[in-house]
Every structure is written in structure tokens, then in C-alpha cells.
Amino acid sequence: MASDLTKIVASLRRSPVYVAPSLTSAVPEPRRLVAAVKAAPVPVFAVIVPLAAGGEFPDAEHLADAVHRRLRRDCVVLTLDEGSPNDISAQEYGVDRDAIQAAGAVNLDPALDSASLTDRLIRCVQLITSGRAHAEYEKQSNALDERIREPRRQDGRSGGHTAAYAVGGGSVAVAAVAALAVWRWRRTRVVRRRPRPVLTDARSAASLREHAEAELVRLGEALDDAQGDAGRLREALDAYSAAGKALDAARTVPDLAGVLVLIDMGHDASEAARGGRGPTPLCFFNPLHGDGPVSVRWRAVGGRERITVRACATCAKAVRARETPDVLRDGATPYYEVDPARSVWATTGYGQFRGDLVQRVLRGELRRR
Ligand SMILES: [Zn+2]
């Protein structure tokens, strides 16, 4: 099997870029990437191998940690992201070059949606080299924000996360095929990212409510003339109903964030009905941060197991530095630490832990005091 650690590390000692044989066609002209890596001011290693739950490398962090342990040197390790096989994941060991932001910026940049993995990795390395990774990540996040204000009629969908949920249970071979499929799909479509209702500067309950009311109306209008797969349209209408129900019951900022997440799910289902990409993850720590382009291993306070959640680059960086990210709080408590019996948002991680958030809300499992 190509994803053999000894083989990978031996190869990395000769050249800083390793591409598994099954993925070579996804990384054309790797020599250009090697040149970019060699120009970086810190050691950078790119390890492009399939990631799959149950495989030798279940996620980016396991792979990068294993490679770093064997290489025994300060470095940046770039890999694929287990949550979305065409996205890039970065881990830093003993260096601080904002590599996580660099990867997040590339993952968010719609101009790179149709670029090859080679070009996306080169862009990531260039951001690390130039010291502009943080600024570029901010720019891409803000650009998403701007696109909210565009008329919905102009919207397209990015291919960014098509296979986000296709890889989890599959074999390594399946993951490789999925990665290639996504890559090919992205190569053939130049698409734009859909503005996300959750993206708003509003943070007070009053201004969030105003934003949520407007977004609910927009979703309703979008669904009026929606077409496509009947099952998906049903899901979209369910999400719309759930959002309306949640809005009626909403009292707090976490409740209103939940309304916006449900509206986002409605748009996702509506786009999927038209054959667009499936649901795309939001930042687990605070869905109001918008896209969660980075997978990060995280353990809840008092929890035994570390789980993988999707997060914005800023939160992901904080978690990896063992710091507390800017979490959405319910009063003084992180929303996910609220007694699950009292909060459907805590129970489901705003839908990241469980796929039945809409059904739970429709069943009336909203906050019970
Ligand atoms: Zn975040």
C-alpha cells in the first residue's frame, strides 16, 4: 500500500513532496511544487496520500503528526483534508508561518476552485513564503461576506466540498477515487461560492433577529420557484419550516444562530435538488464565522474522545495551539457545553454531530427550560 509511513518518510528525505501513486494524476507537474517548497523560508513537506476513516491515516492531523515524529524536525506539513479531499490541510511544528490560514485561504478562494491540486498547493506555499497568509485568509473571508449582499439570482455554487461526506466510511481506494472525482469535477466547472446566510457582522440578539427574518424571507422566495429532485426539495422545505419555528422560539444569540444555520441548510438542500454540491460545513465553534474549511481534532471539556470538527482557520489555529477559540456562548457557557437536554444546538453541534437537526426542531426539541 502506497500510504506506508516508512516509504513516505524515506521519500521525503530525498524530496519534500510525496504523492501517492493513486493520486499522481491529481498532482500534475509536481516539480513546480517542489521548486515552490524549496523556496520557502521554513522546511515544508507536502504529503499527498488518500485519507480514510479506518485506514492507516484517518485524518490530516494523524498523518502530519506521524510524518513529523519520524522526520524529527521543525516544519510545515501539507496534506489533503479528510473532510473534503480536494481541500488542503496544514500543520505547523515549531514554526509560525500562518500555514493553517494559508491552507484556509486556498480552500476558500473561488478563483482556485478549478485550479489543479498542484496549483492550489503552490499557492498555499507561496502564502507561507510571502508572510501574507493571514492577510489573504482575512481577504477571502471578507470576500465571502461581501458576496452575501449580491442578489441571489447571480448565485452559483462552488465545487469546494462536494465529496465532504463521501470519504468517511470508505476504503483508502474509495477515498482516492473520490478525491480524483472531485478534482476532475472541479476542473470542469468554474463556479462561485454561494453567500451564506450565517455570515453576518450582527452579534446582538436584536440585529441577528433582523438579519434572520430577512434571510428567512429570501429562502422562502428562493423555494417558491425551486426545481429539481423532489426529495431534496422536501428537505429544503422542512429546513425552511424548522427555521421559521426556531425563529418564533428564539430568545438568545445561540438560538438565532441556529435559525441562520437552518436557513443555510435550506439553501444547501435547494442547491442539491438542482444537482449542486451537497451540504458544506460551517465553523463548529461558531457557525456565524461562516465556512469551516479546516478539519481539526478537538476534545470537549470533560470529554474523553477527540473528535474531528470543521472550523474556520482562526478557530482551527487556536485549537491546535491548545487555546480556546472564539466560541459562540450561551450566556457565559460555550454553546456545546449546555446540557444537551436543554439545547438542540449543543446536542447536534448545529448539525455537525448529527444529521437530524431539522427533524429535531420540527419535533419541538428546541430549548426546554
Ligand atoms: Zn470559527
**Per-residue model confidence as pLDDT tens digits over 122-146:** 999 999 999 999 999 888 877 765 5
**Within-domain flag for 344:** yes
**How confident is residue 275, by pLDDT bands cut at 50, 70 and 90?**
confident
**Within-domain flag for 368:** no
Identity of residue 150: E
**How confident is residue 196, by pLDDT bands cut at 50, 70 and 90?**
confident
- Who's near 278: CB < 8 A, 6+ residues apart? 161, 162, 164, 165, 268, 272
Decide which of 104, 123, 145 is a domain's last residue: 145
**Within-domain flag for 225:** yes
**Within-domain flag for 152:** no
CA of 4 to the centre of ligand 1 (A): 33
To which H or E segment does residue 108 belong?
Answer: helix 99-108
Do residues 211 and 292 both lie within one domain? yes
**Within-domain flag for 137:** yes
Do residues 22 and 113 both lie within one domain? yes
pLDDT attached to residue 325: 92
pLDDT attached to residue 168: 37
CA of 220 to the centre of ligand 1 (A): 28
* Top-confidence residue, 76 or 304: 76
CA of 287 to the centre of ligand 1 (A): 7
CA of 292 to the centre of ligand 1 (A): 7
pLDDT attached to residue 12: 97
pLDDT digits (tens, 9 = 90+) for 304-362: 777 888 898 889 888 888 888 999 999 999 999 998 888 999 999 999 888 899 999 99
CA of 226 to the centre of ligand 1 (A): 31
CA of 289 to the centre of ligand 1 (A): 5
pLDDT attached to residue 145: 55
Decide which of 126, 145, 164 is a domain's last residue: 145
Phi and psi, residue 251, nearest 5°:
-120, -25
CA of 36 to the centre of ligand 1 (A): 29
**Within-domain flag for 247:** yes
- Who's near 7: CB < 8 A, 6+ residues apart? none
CA of 261 to the centre of ligand 1 (A): 14
Return the bridge partners of 314, or none: none
pLDDT, average across residues 239-256: 96
Do residues 247 and 140 both lie within one domain? no
Do residues 127 and 206 both lie within one domain? no
pLDDT attached to residue 113: 84
Domains: count for the chain:
2
pLDDT, average across residues 6-22: 95
Structural domain range at position 238: 199-362
Do residues 21 and 130 both lie within one domain? yes
**How confident is residue 281, by pLDDT bands cut at 50, 70 and 90?**
confident
Do residues 84 and 221 both lie within one domain? no
Decide which of 101, 127, 145 is a domain's last residue: 145
Do residues 209 and 63 both lie within one domain? no
What gap in Å lies between CA 134 and CA 156, rounded to an integer? Answer: 27
Do residues 134 and 209 both lie within one domain? no
CA of 42 to the centre of ligand 1 (A): 27
pLDDT at 367 over 80: no
* CATH code, domain carrying 74: 3.10.310.50
Do residues 247 and 311 both lie within one domain? yes
* Top-confidence residue, 170 or 360: 360
pLDDT digits (tens, 9 = 90+) for 230-246: 999 999 999 999 999 99
**How confident is residue 91, by pLDDT bands cut at 50, 70 and 90?**
very high
pLDDT at 186 over 60: no
Quick one: what percent of the chain has pLDDT higher than 90? 54
CA of 282 to the centre of ligand 1 (A): 8
**Within-domain flag for 184:** no
* Top-confidence residue, 10 or 62: 10
**How confident is residue 368, by pLDDT bands cut at 50, 70 and 90?**
low
What is the crossing angle of helices 117-130 and 99-108, to 10°? 140
pLDDT attached to residue 150: 45
pLDDT attached to residue 153: 39
**Within-domain flag for 153:** no
Do residues 208 and 79 both lie within one domain? no
Among 155-159, 173-177, 199-203, 205-209, where is mean pLDDT lowest? 155-159
Do residues 132 and 219 both lie within one domain? no
Return the bridge partners of 84, or none: 81
Do residues 141 and 203 both lie within one domain? no
pLDDT, average across residues 34-47: 97
pLDDT attached to residue 89: 92
